Amino acid sequence: MSHLNLTGITKSFGGVHALRGVDFAVSERGSVHGLIGANGSGKSTLLGVLSGQVSPDSGTVSLHGERVEFRDPAHALSHGIAMVSQESALAPHLSVAENILLGRRLERSWWGIDWKSTNRRARDVLARLDLDYDPTIAVSRLRPDQRQMVEIARALSIETSILILDEPTSSLSDDQVRSLFAAVRRLKGHGVSTVFVSHRLPELFELSDEITVLRDGLTVATGPTGAFDQATLVDAMVGAPKASRPAGRRSRRAAVPEAVPRIEVRGASSPRAFTDVSLTVQAGEIVGLAGLTGAGRGELLESLFGSRPFTGDVALNGTSLAGSRPDEAISAGAGYLPPDRKTEGVVLQRSIVDNLLMVSTRDRRRLGAPRATDTASAATLAKRMSIKAPDLGSTVGSLSGGNQQKVAIGKWLGAEKSVLLLDEPTRGVDVAAKHEIHSLLRDAADRGTALLVSSSETDELLELCDRILVMHAGVIVADVASADATEPLITRLAGGHL
């Protein structure tokens, strides 16, 4: 009998069938079950059912052989099911101990909170993960991977038997991912099962014992991890033969150098971020930025877009940028995709149309409905970008992650910007959406747009870019042509091994 068993789960939102009879099972205690599927496949809804956030229309959930019906997340927690979401749910200004034992789990005495006992209990929970964090420091002082561990520790503080990790590695470096995986393996030794959601296929093969694939609200494949390889997983996700997918970087034409580069940087520096950076990007060229977390990749893009102070010379389309003013960069023809789409890339509460028109109509008054011609342009753009939604009036927050990312990129493509500065352009999207986004970026380059792309995924840079600039400790240490680039070479250079 399975440790956890969901059978025939259905769920509709209005006329949209998110789940159409999904079967999902964690076979035994202490196992790691990988869950994968294209954006819009039903993963988030299934996790919502499992964590008590969503009530299914039909189907059954059984835990330890007994049927259960979760009323809300607190009810699921009482049954030992805890979820760590892709978006952090920590209170950054509270201490590690307060976050782990938030609410009624804080140790109390007759005069209030017993901080000595609270901190001691938090240390005990952290010790289960082999962590020695100071429980009194503010969470805001921790690295992203350490914050992820605090969220897992909070889940463990309620005696979790099933831990759901939703895209936990999307903002972590390779070293931080290894630390997280080591923690999950320690939990296996304590009999804690993990439902692990990731779009990074190598991670699924490294960590999981079994895998389930969803597509269009249905379970299309499930079994031991050893029964799959990358090709069969992708084919199951997208429902298309491998030959139909984009060919990758080899299909790119060479950029033609011009007298004035689209992006030109000379001796640029920004405190505690990067030093003496020089680079050029020509029209029609896709240039990658590789490097470990903290190497200065993201900060460099912020400076080029005018949202971070810098010294040195920066010119976009021949126009020198005087300082920290994004409107100046936009006027010079630049668009910027930040790494966190939900807080910076889109306005979740606004419609698809409003978001797509945000840049192209930025100089107009915002009163009244969009012009008919603008709405028609937005519809054409949405079709070109294969944005999947019931209608263009839908809020962006209602879309899957991949479609949200397309909207975040589309608002710049619709404004026909000649320079695109992209930070983690496919973070948190599935394999199919990643291919679609790469195709859109190649098309933009073929139309003469210059792209500077920062990514923590080396394989993405290898597939997409014409050249890769490798950063280490705030310095560009190598400029590698596509034909010469390999993952071992980029990894070695990024680690400072020249």
Structure tokens at 201: 């296929």
Q: In terms of Cα–Cα distance, which of 196, 268, 213 is closest to 50?
A: 196
Q: Is 295 exposed, middle or buried (0-12, 13-18, 19+ CB in 10 A)?
A: buried
Q: What stretches of 394-473 adopt beta strand conformation (E)?
A: 419-423, 450-454, 467-472
- Residue ranges covered by each domain of the chain: 4-244, 259-494
Report the distance separating Cα 498 and Cα 207, nearest Å.
Answer: 31
Beta carbons of 281 and 261 less than 8 angstroms apart: yes
Beta carbons of 317 and 417 less than 8 angstroms apart: no
Domain 259-494 matching CATH 3.40.50.720: the answer reads: no
Report the distance separating Cα 428 and Cα 174, nearest Å.
Answer: 16
Sign of CA dihedral 326, 419, 351, 435: negative
Q: State pTM to two decimals.
A: 0.64
At 380 the three-state DSSP class reads helix
**pLDDT tens string for the chain (498 positions)?**
568 999 999 998 876 788 999 999 998 889 999 998 876 788 889 999 999 999 999 999 998 889 999 989 889 988 989 888 766 678 888 999 989 887 666 776 666 778 888 899 899 888 877 788 999 999 988 877 788 888 888 887 877 889 999 888 766 667 778 878 888 898 888 889 999 998 778 889 999 999 999 988 999 999 999 999 888 887 888 775 444 334 444 444 555 666 689 999 999 999 889 999 999 999 999 999 998 777 899 999 999 999 899 999 999 999 998 766 898 999 999 999 998 887 788 899 999 998 998 888 776 665 555 667 778 888 888 888 888 888 888 999 888 888 899 999 999 998 889 999 999 998 877 777 888 899 999 999 999 999 999 998 888 899 999 999 999 889 999 999 989 998 888 878 887 776
Helices vs. strands in the chain: H and E counts, helices first: 16, 22
What is the assigned CATH class of domain 4-244?
A: alpha beta
Q: Which ranges constitute the DSSP H helices of 32-84?
A: 43-50, 73-78
At 347 the three-state DSSP class reads coil
Q: Which ranges constitute the DSSP H helices of 295-430?
A: 297-304, 326-331, 352-356, 372-384, 401-414
Between strands 162-166 and 193-197, the pairing is parallel
Report the distance separating Cα 349 and Cα 45, nearest Å.
Answer: 19
Query: Same topology for domains 4-244 and 259-494, yes or no?
Result: yes
